[in-house]
Structure 1
Amino acid sequence: MKRLLLLVPHNAASRIRNGGSWGKITYRISDADNVGAIIALSIGNGPVIPTPLEPKNHFLCSGDTCSGQLWYRADPDLHAMWWNARRLNKACQLEAFKNCIAGGWRNPPSTGSYLALTFSPDAPAKFPDVDITEFAAWLVTAEGVTPVAVEVQSSKVGMAQLSATWPTKTMSEISVLVIGLGSIGGAAAHALAEYGVGTLRLLDPDRLLAHNLVRHVGPPEGVGRLKVDVIKQQLAALRADTVVETHPWDVIESAHLVRGLLLSVDLVLCAADGVAARRVVSHLARRAKKDAVLACVLADGSFGEVIRLRPWHDHGCLVCRRATLADKGGIDPEPGLDAGYGTGTTHRPMTAVGGDLHLLGRLAAKTAVATVLERRGHTDQKLPGEHLLLALRPEIGWAPPFDLTRNGETRWLPHTPPRPGCPTCEPA
């Protein structure tokens, strides 16, 4: 059985840090999980004031309540004893524990125990070479004192925890439009939120259906709902730093509305099915002078593709890029993309599994984030090319550059220039 773990909300830790030498504790415990959380405490004999656990739907917000527990201010040596006792999996002597307590001592019952939380602000500095913390927890009995694992919740939550190593403020200012919330787009939306994108605008008219579940990030209980709403609900629970807006539109039928949306975003990521949808996004993004990232699978899942389109005079649109590939002896990989998965060619069923599609969605998200950050001066985000090919289940016989032969092999290609007379690339 796992050792008991005690969770200390940041507001409970703050009250203890702010004064007093002891106090009373009330906590809730889940015996099935062998974990408890402080939900109220006092300073000395003062009132026991609630210290709510976050988030409000935490599983320990309901459960069995245990009152009459204690916290003590303690000598740093006691926390060194706690560290060593946990390492050796043994108990400490009751008298040694008592001698390290600053005040408010209560003897344990002759049979039974009580939970004690100890606070020693000088412990980390006194023992810098080992992981001695300012808080420790104990199960106090007449026979001895057993160390208990403790976790103090930080007041800094979400992406703010990564601010020392990741441009969280910049990311919080970024807005991305995601078009197509299927298996690839849903995974991309999750990844964008994990990178800390401040605002996601999700666009897809389709509902999550039962046959989607084998590949989609959406759960069974979401079947029947719009995909954009399923993803929004997931991200609200998992990534509160990201604001999510939903638009149940078809990008082709509602191109005039999408044109307006593009004015308020930094980049558009398209994972919509079909050649037409991808070409519409390519055209709209170019006209709005926005970067676009397109992601799809080819050959019924044999290859993954991520294309970055820049609204620059020497970078061609999607149609130009495909035409240039054909001129160089390549083949058009997209004829079957307007059909549903597995129906492009009758003798070749769709082979991509959810993990491959989610991987591609995350690569598209990484490409999108790198693109926006590079534009904002983060030179470490420069990508090796503009067109990524990934072998998922490679097949022999494809013409270059789709001649990948090893599973997991990647290839980056450069941009290609606009084609003369292109209605997308030529100035309006």
Structure 2
Amino acid sequence: MTFHVVDLIRTKRDGGRLPDAAVDWLISSYTAGAVPDEQMASYLMAVVWRGMRPAELSRWTAAMVASGERLDLSGLGRPTVDKHSTGGVGDKVSLVLVPLVVACGAAVPQLAGRGLGHTGGTLDKMAAIPGWRASLAPERMRSVLTDVGGVIAAAGAGLAPADRKLYALRDVTGTVESIPLIASSIMSKKIAEGTSALVLDVKVGSGAFMTAQAPARELAETMVALGDVAGVRTEALLTGMDTPLGRTAGNALEVDEAVAALRGGGPADLVEVTVALARRMLTLAGLAGGPDPADVLAAGRAHDVWQRMVTAQGGDPDAPLPVAPHVETLPAPATGFLRRLDARAVGLVAWRLGAGRARQDDEVSAVAGVRWFAGLGERVVAGAPLLELHTDDPARLATARAALADAVEIADTPPSVQRLVLDHVHL
């Protein structure tokens, strides 16, 4: 069946719902190049303003999945479960979480992404490890999952190719900020990767894509519903991102911090979020009666899995990580308690130092980033080191410092305790 694109645009513009056959035709035709960018951009803008009804969005997502292959992860001998984060600053959770959940008995096929703007990307962090490769052919991915239990890899070109085209188009046409389009983009890739269960980490706060809790919850509910319709057991946690996670933001810096957590140490906030997600993942995978991931992590039992995962993808887990040739220390401006360290500002600093990218094809620096020496509520002393700026290009330091102008607040009294896990969304 063939449709006229202008008729479909008018239907959505006027608030109507496309028939299932029209949704299938539009996605497949655009993926094949039969529908031009300008017409799809017009349709996407209509979606931004008019939204999609639940059944329509489910069909849209299914059509995106059907535009490519779907991995078959049956027969691994372990239940499969994955996690997806909507992105934050200092969010190295996946580097700790994947080997931890594997150490607790599940298989984790994590297809991750690269960073854009002030939020970091898991693949950029992993690429700081000497020799590590992001690309795995589907048969190699199955082999590593069978032998090791976990992978962190780039999605292959055959998985949801419709999303790849739509994502690039949304980025240049002002159609990113749409909950149906965000949800379908995330879930089409996760459904296509073949996992049986999925836990979503929806970040909320100044350093996140969603700065307020209400739209973050709407996004979480939308994605959980899409997973359920597709037969993927799905839950979501809303976690705070007003303050950056851990004590570092930047690729090699975050790998080093993640390894410390895998050895049984690491910052308390990173451990808290990781363990909360691990418990939900294990519950969805049917492994809730096993060892508590908090105990497994504290004992360092996930570190061996990490080393085998890195090795299986060509990396040397024992090789020294690259370090920045230029490091500038910024002192605390006053004595007192750290009441605020703005996540978005820290992310912008890391980006300006070279850790992030403005466009998908930009190169990133493995060594650039920020380290902070106090967490929220901790006491600092005037003149003592508070922040470190790491870069391989000293010309970047001045613009990075400028992004910190209003990022730090020190007061005579500590802030109230802030919860990291804000909500749990499930059917």
For normalisation by structure 2, the TM-score amounts to 0.30
Higher helix share: 2
Between Structure 1 and Structure 2, which shows a larger proportion of strand residues?
1
The structure with higher relative contact order (CA 8 Å, sep 6+) is 2
Kindly name which structure, 1 or 2, has the bigger radius of gyration based on alpha carbons. Answer: 1
What is the TM-score normalised by the length of structure 1? 0.30
